[in-house]
Each structure stands twice: as C-alpha cells, then as structure tokens.
Structure 1
Amino acid sequence: MKLYTFFRSSAAFRMRIALNCKGLAYEPLPVSLPEDEHKLARYLTVHPQGLVPALEDGGKIYVQSLAMMEYLEETRPQPPLLPANAEDRAYVRAVAQIIACEIHPLNNLRTLRYVKKNYGLDEEGVNVWYRHWIAEGLNGLEVFIASSKKHGKYCYRDQITIADCCLVPQVFNAQRYRCDLAPFPTIMAIFEECMKLDAFIDAQPSKQPDAA
C-alpha cells in the first residue's frame, strides 16, 4: 500500500491517521505542494485533479480522503472507524463532512493562494481570511458535537472514528494560523484525547519524512 502525501496537507493527515488506526503499513510517497509537484504530468497520471492524498492499493488508485477512509472501512473493517448502527454512522459522517466539505475547502493552500493573488491580500490579510472561516466553521461544529449527546472522549463516545481522523488535522491547521480556539472546549477536549494515541502522534506533520 502506498500513500501519496504532503506532510502539512490536512487531507493526507486524515489518511495517515486512518491507516495507523487500522494498523496498516504503507509507503509514504511525498508530493511537495509548495514546489508544485502535484501539477507535474507524472503525478497527474496518478490523480487527475492534482490533489493529495492518493492511495495505491493492489495496483489501483483511490482518491478523496473521505472516500478512501470508507474504502478502508469496507475492505479492512477491523478495528472499525464507523459505529455499528445507521443513526450513529450518519452522525459521524456528518462531523467528518462538516470539516472536510465545509471548513477545509475555504482554507486549503490553493484557496489561500488564489485570494492572495487575485484580491491583493498581504500575508496578514490571508491570515484574517483564514481565521474568520475557521472561527465560523468550528463554531457550528462545536455546537453540533456538543448538542448531539453522542460524544465522549472522542467525537463518538469512546470510539475513534473517521470524525476524529478529520477533526485533529483541522485543529492542527487552526493552531498553525494562531486561531483562538478557546471558544471550542468540546473540540479541544476531543483533540487532546486523540493526541494521546500513537496513531495520531505518529501521523502528525512533524513526524513525516518530508517535514525536514
């Protein structure tokens, strides 16, 4: 199994966590986003969108982190990253999608590059953009998780799920941009519990071979 990855990509971070939680060995294949390696022809044959991550398994390529985590769940169901019943699976998927589909796209590298170039923003202007959308997104997520009555140590009771795989990288990014996370005590409590686990510790950006 091979994972095309970039150490600071939150989507790739999600996949590293999921693979670690499943106890699956993989070969990391770094793709440098700052150096535009994702736009090179050799990578576009792997992932036509030119995005990371991409997962190679059994000679086939899988893309989009949520789809890849679902693929792992279907092909390697133990230990599970989704709850046993449909209602709780819907809740976990909702948390994951709030992060991956609502929060993350407004703050990923290509979006930040675009607003900086086309709207004349300096570095602080980009940071203001980032912090605004992080605050708005995490505020809704905090209310959703806290009011669900389904969270425990983690997003779903005391079971690690794909929701946690998505939440931790998003908090890492928010910390990197010095966002105020004090208004989100439920999210931060879950983050701190997750970061006690080797699967999360070993997946973090600073532990990756391309972080040097």
Structure 2
Amino acid sequence: MVLHGFWRSTATWRVRIALALKGLAWDTAPHDLRTNEQRAADYLALNPQGMVPALVIGDTVLTQSMAICEYLDEIHPQPPLLPQTPLARARVRAFAQVVACEIHPLQNIGVLRMLKARGQDQAATDGWARAVIERGLEACAALIAAHDGPYCFGPQVTLADVLLVPQLSNARRFGARFDFGRIAAVEEACMALPAFADTAPDKQPEAD
C-alpha cells in the first residue's frame, strides 16, 4: 500500500490518520506541491487531477481523501470511523464536508496562487485564508455544540475528527482563530492519540 502525498498537505494527513487508526502499514511516495511535483507525467497517470493524496493498493488507485477514508472504513471496519445509525452517520458526514468542501478548497495552495496571479499580495491572500477558515470553524463548533466530548461526536473518534485536526494545522499556519466552542479541546484529545500525533506533518521524514 503506497500513499502518494505531501507532508504538509492536510488532505494527505487525513489519510495517514485513517490508516493509523486502522492499524495498517503503508509506504510513502512524496510529491512536493510547492514545486508542482504532483503535475509530473507519471503521477498524472495515477491521478489525472494532479492532486494529493492518492492511495495505491495493488492495481487499484484511490483518490480524494474522504473517499479513501470511507473505503478504508468499509474494508477494515474496526475501529469504525462512522457511527452505527443513519442519523449519526449523516451528522458526522455533514461536519466532515464543511471541512472538505467549504473550508479546505477555498484556502488551498491552488486558490491562493490564483489570487496572487490576479494581483493580491501575501497579506491579502493570508487574510482570505484566515477568513475562510474562521467562518468554517465557527460553523463546525456549532455542529458539535450539543455533543459531549472528548471527540467531535462523543467518546469515539469519527471521520469528523479525522477531518478537523489537520484543518487546525492550516489555521495555525495562517494565524486563524479556532477558539470556537469545543474545537480546541477536541484537537487536544485527538493529539493525545498516536494515530494523530505520530502522523502529524512535522513527524514526516520529508518535512522541512
């Protein structure tokens, strides 16, 4: 099993967390997004989007971090990343999609490069990222406000936690607030687990 990604990529970190929670072993194939290594022809043959992550299992190539995490959850169901009831699963997925669909895509490297290409300076692009992240995290906090901890939706780690914790690394990188509700407390609880702490970006061999 080979995980193609970038050490600082939050989407790649999501998959590392899921693999670690499942107790699975994997090899890493790094692609530096800062120098567009993900646009190399050999990688585009695996993932025509030219984005990370991609998980290669034998002859099978999986892309998109949430799809990969849910695939792993179905193939290796213990411990589960999704709750048992349809309503609880829907709530976890809704939270995860706030991060994956409404925060992350608007502050990723591709969008920030496009803003700079249209004349925005570093301060402006960082401000854009902060605003997007803070708005999204405030919504995330509201979605879990009625649930007891220590994790997003109670005593078990779910896909929501797998998505949230990597996003908070981007919040720090851009100087965004994340003191909303239980968000910081959830991160602290998750980072006490080896599956989160040992897969963090700064623990990766290629980190700089």
State the TM bucket, normalised to the shorter chain. over 0.9
Q: Which moved more, 1:32-41 or 1:135-144?
A: 135-144
| Structure 1 consecutive aligned stretches of length 4 or more whose deviation exceeds 2 Å | none
* 2:192 is the alignment partner of 1:193: no
* Corresponding residue for residue 170 of structure 1: 167
* Corresponding residue for residue 153 of structure 2: 156
Alignment gaps of 5+ in structure 2 = none
Root-mean-square deviation (CA, aligned residues, Å) is 1.0
Report deviation, 1:209: 1.6
Any conservation in 1 of the 2:47–2:54 contact (CA below 8 Å)? Answer: yes
Report deviation, 1:150: 3.2
Q: Distance in 2 between the 1:202 and 1:35 partners?
A: 26
* Corresponding residue for residue 211 of structure 1: 207
* 2:182 aligned counterpart, secondary structure: helix
Q: Distance in 2 between the 1:67 and 1:188 partners?
A: 26
* Corresponding residue for residue 105 of structure 1: 105
* Corresponding residue for residue 70 of structure 2: 70
* Corresponding residue for residue 59 of structure 1: 59
* Corresponding residue for residue 16 of structure 2: 16
Report deviation, 1:180: 2.1
Any conservation in 1 of the 2:2–2:55 contact (CA below 8 Å)? Answer: yes
Letter in 1 for 2:79: P
* Corresponding residue for residue 136 of structure 2: 137
Q: Distance in 1 between the 2:148 and 2:52 partners?
A: 29
Letter in 1 for 2:175: R
Q: Distance in 1 between the 2:44 and 2:58 partners?
A: 19
* Corresponding residue for residue 122 of structure 1: 121
Letter in 1 for 2:125: V
Letter in 1 for 2:117: K
Q: 1:24-35 counterparts in 2 under 5 A?
A: 24-35=24-35
Q: Distance in 1 between the 2:75 and 2:186 partners?
A: 27
Identical pairs, percent:
48
* 1:211 aligned counterpart, secondary structure: coil
* Corresponding residue for residue 44 of structure 1: 44
Any conservation in 1 of the 2:142–2:181 contact (CA below 8 Å)? Answer: no
* Corresponding residue for residue 84 of structure 1: 84
Q: Distance in 2 between the 1:17 and 1:49 partners?
A: 23
Report deviation, 1:203: 1.1
Report deviation, 1:137: 1.0
Report deviation, 1:151: 4.2
Alignment gaps of 5+ in structure 1 = none
Q: How many residues align?
A: 208
* 1:34 aligned counterpart, secondary structure: helix
What TM-score, normalized to structure 2? 0.97
Q: Distance in 2 between the 1:73 and 1:181 partners?
A: 28
* 1:68 aligned counterpart, secondary structure: helix
Q: Distance in 2 between the 1:3 and 1:43 partners?
A: 12
Report deviation, 1:44: 0.1
